[in-house]
Every structure is written in structure tokens, then in C-alpha cells.
Amino acid sequence: MLRLGVNIDHVATIRNARGTPWPDPLRAARIAEAAGADGITAHLREDRRHISDADIDALMEHLDLPLNLEMAATAEMQRIALRHRPHAVCLVPEKREERTTEGGLDVAGNDSMLADFIAPLREAGCRVSLFIGHEPAQIKAAARIGAAVVELHTGAYCDLDTEGRIAERDAELAGLTEGAQLAAELGLEVHAGHGLTFDTVGPIAALPQIAELNIGHFLIAESVFTGLGDAIREMRRRMEEARA
């Protein structure tokens, strides 16, 4: 069964554009749950540009679905995660000037720091996920330091598809396919996400090793036209069709 995690960050982006209490990310999470989402993802960024500390408090208190807390590997974020103990913590690289998470985490180059960083999170019962590219060195490093999950970065694959660079897109998809196989062989649970749309989700959902997709921006964008529930139901339908 392929799970869908709905990332609600950009509900908060719209709210923050006007400084109003609406639209409320918790309400979006409840609609996602009713539409069949298996989990909710929220990225608490260092600059709090979308999700706020109060959003995380509200999600932890009121949401029945498991929360996947995305965050950078900083001392502040570790303290917040240990206070809340969400179901999952996904570590991502974060740069202030970036528009969104641009690349994967360099686990191979920071293995001892990350091993120390994730140890208390694992002890607190959080499933630790590392957001990485599909390079074998990164996947092997994630397994070596004891992560439970890797989330493979699908952003480049999606961008190449949008730009119509089909040969490069297919090469990227081949890399993701091999990465998912290697990660599963090493005993890691495999997730994927970033940039996925109705058009790009199929080939990723079809990879049999992938247990979960995390999708946000496109679903929130589509919900302007169809409502969030319909956007999620259509995404699920396409995921299931590809998996079948």
C-alpha cells in the first residue's frame, strides 16, 4: 500500500501573505484526512516563512493522522522535535535564500554529525527520515548512520519533465529507480517527494520499493480550482493506478 503524505506548508504561505488567521493549516489537514491522506507533513523552517510554532502545536494537539515534521538539523529544531515527539522527523537541508528545499542532504559528508543528531530523536521514538538525492554514497551513508527512512528528492525529475527535457528526465528517473532499489536492499524504508504533480506522479508511484509520497505545492495550487479534497482524491487515484 503506497501512502500519501500531504504537505500543508503552502496553506500557511497564503495565510502569512496577509497576516490573517486564514486559511488555517489545521483545517487543511482535517480536509486532507477526510480525503484519504495517510499523514500530514509540515516544514518548520528556521525563518518561519510558512509553518509557525503555533501550527505545529495545533497539529500535534488536534490531528489524528501521523505528523511528519520536516526540519533542518539544528539544535533549535532538535529541541522542538524532542518536545513534540512527532511520528516522523524528516531532515532536510535549508538555506535562507532558497525558494524551496533545493537539494538533498549531504549525509556522506556529515555522517558523524548526523548520527549524533538523530540518536536522541530515535530514542524518543521518532522515525527519522533523511531527504537525499539518489546517489549511492548518500543512500549507503543513511543506512550506516541508522536512519529508518530515506526520502528520495524528485525535484530534478519533475523540473526536467516540465521543461520538456525528456532524455535527461528519463536518466533522472533511472537514477531514482536504482536508488529506491539500493535503499530497500539496505533495509531502509523508501519515500519520495518534491515537485510531484498529476503528470509526474505515475512513474514514481510505480516504483515498488516506495512506501510513501509527500506532496504539497501542487495539491495546494490545484485546490484553488477544485478544492483540496478533490485534488487529493485525484492524486490518490493516479498513485493507485500507477501502482496497479
Q: What residues make contact with ligand PXP under the rule CB under 6 A? A: 7, 9, 43, 70, 90, 92, 100-101, 131, 151, 193-196, 214-218
Nearest to ligand PXP of 17, 167 (CB atom):
17
Nearest to ligand PXP of 91, 167 (CB atom):
91
Block residue for cell numbers 488567521: 21
First and final CA of the chain: distance in angstroms?
Answer: 10
Nearest to ligand PXP of 90, 156 (CB atom):
90
Nearest approach in angstroms of CB 215 to ligand PXP is: 5
Residue 59 · residue 67 · CB < 8 Å: yes
CB neighbourhood size of 65 (10 A): 17
Can you name the residues that pair with 130 across neighbouring β-strands?
91, 150
Annotated active-site residue 43? The verdict is yes
Q: What angle do CA 213, 69, 130 make, to 5 degrees?
A: 65
- Extract the annotated binding site for 3-amino-2-oxopropyl phosphate: 7, 18, 195, 216-217
Nearest approach in angstroms of CB 194 to ligand PXP is: 4
Nearest to ligand PXP of 31, 167 (CB atom):
31
Marked catalytic residue, from 70, 151, 172, 189: 70
- Extract the annotated binding site for 1-deoxy-D-xylulose 5-phosphate: 9-10, 45, 50, 100
Question: Which residues in 66-134 belong to E strands, given as ranges?
Answer: 67-71, 88-91, 127-132
Cell of 7: 504537505
Cis geometry, peptide bond prior to residue 136 (ω within 30 degrees of 0): no
- Extract the annotated binding site: 7, 9-10, 18, 45, 50, 100, 195, 216-217
HEC profile of 2-57: CEEEEECHHHHHHHHHHCCCCCCHHHHHHHHHHCCCCEEEEECCCCCCCCCHHHHH
Nearest approach in angstroms of CB 131 to ligand PXP is: 4
Nearest approach in angstroms of CB 100 to ligand PXP is: 6
Annotated active-site residue 70? The verdict is yes
Marked catalytic residue, from 153, 172, 194, 222: 194
- Active-site residues, by number, are 43, 70, 194
